[in-house]
Structure 1
Amino acid sequence: MPRKHAWPLAVLLAVGAIALSACGTTAGTAQPASQPAPSSSDSGARGPAPQSGTARTNKADEKAGDTAAADASADTKEKWVSLRAGTAGDLDPVVINGAGLTLYRFDKDSANPPKATCNGDCAVTWPPVTVAPGGKIFFAGVKKDDIGTVKRDDGKLQVTIKGWPVYRYTKDTKPGDTLGQGVGGTWFGVTPTGEKAGSGKPAPQPASGAGAQPSTSVTLYTGKNFDDFTGANFATVVANAGCNDLRGAFFALTTAGSTKIWSEPGCKGKSAVVAEDVSDVTPLGFPNGVKSVFLG
């Protein structure tokens, strides 16, 4: 009869140790696989991470996203979304999109947890602001932590501000239109903090930069409300440490940390330290705009 092979005990133990090692375990306890931490931009569904600045400063395709043609495909329109704190009609502040159109919130939705209830014919009149899972959300004047997405009944990701799903209104056809304000007593422009626009509350002032980490770059806009597309308005990015003179006067800025702004070239004149986006530097005492900045 053929003899059965007898394996030494030491060999069997060695093979077992190798198998355990390959499985990623250590002697004594099995370690669970680590899970990625949830993104602060999630608001009910996994979505794209927001990016500071406007669509133009981020060099987004202007034939896609908010500025895509009306007959463009859904995939093209959902490549990017822009959220910008601004004014429209009597609403100040209110969030507008990359085409300058007013964005709204619906009282029948909920913010905690986020839930979009405008579907079917409602969503035809009030198109939800949706973005592809791999798309981009640009923001200026809205806090990054307040931006998220929620999964709609049709499976699409709708952008949220402070948990509130946001929409457009089909009767608004040009920048400044606010024909959706107050419709049915349930539709209102949405503020950068997710509240109802037109409530009479003053726009929040940017926080002082005291104690904040110094910013390594700042984007400045010649137009108030982060306007880098109307007329001759434009934006410029400064990323050099120290004092930086600007070519012209700038009235808005986006920053990811503490930035010192000055009213005159050479970091002279009136100064202020800001740590958040500023839609209009005039109330801070800069009626003629910012003309130099200090980083670091």
Structure 2
Amino acid sequence: MSRHRIALVMASGVASALLLTACGSSSDNSTNTGAVAPETSAPAGTTAPAAGGTSTASSGTGHMVSTNMLMSKAMSGMGTVVTDAQGFTLYRYDKDQVNMSMCTGSCAETWMPVMADGTPQGMGVQAKVGVLTRDDGMKQVTLAGWPLYRYMGDTKAGEMNGQGKNGTWFAVTPAGKKMAASG
């Protein structure tokens, strides 16, 4: 690993530790079990996933999420879509190509690339789960070869606010196809 990446991973670890320390002293009503998650490595500029299998981070290329599990979920009145381990809807972009992401820069700030945390697995998905290497060297999760994203406008699990956005963004089905536009 290059010195630059080692420094970024170490800085990420220190920042995570400080964040966890700050969170532990907050006075909100969240539950802290005191359990420590096993140490896992994450790509530079990201954080290792929480026990739920998904984490969110910022980097020079925009926001990213990482996951190790894709799951199928029936959405009321919409059909079945693929979600990450936390239940957030995953999308594909019509301007992408199989095994090539075209969403970079400001696009990746709104449509967060789903980065691989180890070897991603699929539960209830029929298409092949894979990984591609983005131009920045990061490993992005794919389904049937299509790069996957999470929409910044989905603020809680089960939302599909990105469905059909700009006529190019669609929730992905367990077969790796784009969900038909509603309407």
TM-score by length of 1: 0.40
Aligned CA RMSD, in angstroms, stands at 2.6
- 1:100 aligns to what? 87
Specify whether residues 184 and 65 from structure 1 end up closer, same or farther in structure 2 by C-alpha distance, changes over 3 A only: same
Give the aligned residue type for 1:81: N
Mapping for residues 57-206 of structure 1, pairs under 5 Å: 63-64=50-51, 66-68=53-55, 70=56, 78=66, 80-111=67-98, 114-132=99-117, 135-143=118-126, 146-198=128-180
* Residues 89 and 170 of structure 1, relative CA distance in 2, 3 Å threshold: farther
SS of residue paired to 1:137 = strand
Divergent runs of 4+, >3 A: 64-68, 70-73
Deviation string, structure 1 residues 257-283 (Cα, Å, up to 9, x no partner): xxxxxxxxxxxxxxxxxxxxxxxxxxx
Which entry has the higher C-alpha Rg, 1 or 2? Answer: 1
CA 1:184–1:72: 2 relative to 1, 3 Å: closer
Structure 2 CA distance for aligned equivalents of residues 98 and 149 of structure 1: 17
Once the two structures are TM-superposed, the CA of residue 87 in structure 1 deviates from its matched residue by 2.2
Q: Distance in 2 between matches of 1:185 and 1:199?
A: 8
| Distance in structure 2 (CA, Å) of the matches to 1:83 and 1:138 | 6
Letter in 1 for 2:90: L
Cα distance in structure 2, aligned partners of 1:153 and 1:91: 34
1:142 corresponds to which letter in structure 2? V
Structure 2 residue identity aligned to 1:117:
M
Alignment partner, residue 25 of structure 2: none
Q: Give 3-state SS (helix, strand or coil) of 1:119's partner.
A: coil
Higher relative contact order (CA 8 A, sep 6+): 2
Q: TM-score with structure 2 length normalisation?
A: 0.63
Q: Tell me the distance in 2 between the aligned counterparts of 1:67 and 1:129.
A: 9
| Residue in 2 that maps onto 1:235 | none
